[in-house]
Amino acid sequence: MANLVYKRVSTDQQSTARQDLVLAEAGIEDPVVFEEEPGTSSRLHPLERPRFGKLLDYARPGDTVHISEMFRLVRGNQHILDVLEVLHRDRLALRIHGGAFSAMDLTARHPRTGELLSTVKFMVQTLAAAGELQRDLQRELTYDGLRAAEAKGNKGGRRPTLTGETIADVRTAYLEGQSIAALAREHNVSRGAVRTAVADLLAEHAADEVAPAPELLVTLDMPGKVADFLRAAELDDAERAALDHGQAVRRGQGYTLRVTAVPAVHRQLLDHCLPLDGTAAVPAQRKARREYENRVSAFGAAN
Of 109, 53, 59, whose CA–CA distance to 85 is shortest? 109
Write down the pLDDT at residue 65. Answer: 92
Best-predicted range by mean pLDDT among 44-53, 91-100, 207-216? 44-53
SS3 content of the chain, % helix, strand, coil (to 5): 50, 15, 35
Q: Please compute, for residue 232, the number of CA atoms within 13 A of its CA located in the half-sphere on the CB side.
A: 8
Residue 222 confidence class, pLDDT cut points 50, 70, 90: very high
Which range has highest mean pLDDT (56-65, 163-172, 203-212)? 56-65
State the chain's mean pLDDT as an integer: 79
pLDDT surpassing 70 at residue 76 = no
Q: What is the β-pairing status of strands 3-7 and 64-67?
A: parallel
The pLDDT value given to residue 67:
92
Q: What percent of the chain has pLDDT over 90?
A: 15
C-beta of residue 258 within 8 angstroms of C-beta of residue 282: no
Q: Are 299 and 270 in contact (CB under 8 A)?
A: no
For the residues 66-94, what does the mean pLDDT come to?
A: 83
pLDDT, tens digit (0-9, with 9 covering 90-100), for 151-206: 766 555 555 567 677 888 888 888 877 888 888 888 888 777 888 888 777 755 55
Phi, psi of 94 (to 5 degrees): -125, 130
pLDDT band at 137; cut points 50, 70, 90: low
CA neighbor of 33 nearest in space, from 67, 69, 80: 67
- Report residue 210's pLDDT band, with 50, 70 and 90 as the boundaries: very low
What number of CA atoms fall less than 13 Å from residue 183's CA on the CB side? 25
Say whether 273 sits in a helix, a strand or coil: coil
Residue 159 has what pLDDT?
53
Question: How much is the pLDDT for 66?
Answer: 93
Task: Write the CA distances from 251 to 80, 225, 255, 272, integer angstroms.
Answer: 19, 12, 5, 24
Q: Give the least confident one: 109-113, 138-142, 188-192, 218-222.
A: 138-142
Q: What is the pLDDT of residue 32?
A: 95
C-alpha to C-alpha distance for 255 and 201, rounded to whole angstroms: 45
Write the single-letter amino acid at 189.
V
- With pLDDT > 70 as the criterion, what percentage of the chain qualifies? 74
Work out the end-to-end distance of the chain between its first and last CA atoms, rounded to an integer number of angstroms: 34
pTM over 0.95, yes/no:
no
pLDDT of residue 209: 47
Burial class (CB in 10 A: 0-12, 13-18, 19+), 28: middle
Alpha-carbon distance values, 54 to 232, 257, 291 (Å): 41, 30, 22
- Which of 28, 32, 30, 24 lies closest to 6 in space, CA to CA? 32
Q: Where are the alpha helices (DSSP H) in 110-236?
A: 118-151, 164-175, 180-187, 191-197, 199-208, 224-231
Task: Report the chain's C-alpha Rg in angstroms.
Answer: 22
Position 43 scores a pLDDT of 77
Mean pLDDT of 248-272: 87
User: What is the pairing mode between strands 254-261 and 247-251?
Assistant: antiparallel
Give pLDDT tens digits for 96-133: 888 766 756 666 666 777 676 676 667 666 766 665 66
Q: What is the DSSP string of 52-112?
A: HHHHHHH--TT-EEEESSGGGT--SHHHHHHHHHHHHHTT-EEEE-SSTTTT--TT-B-TT
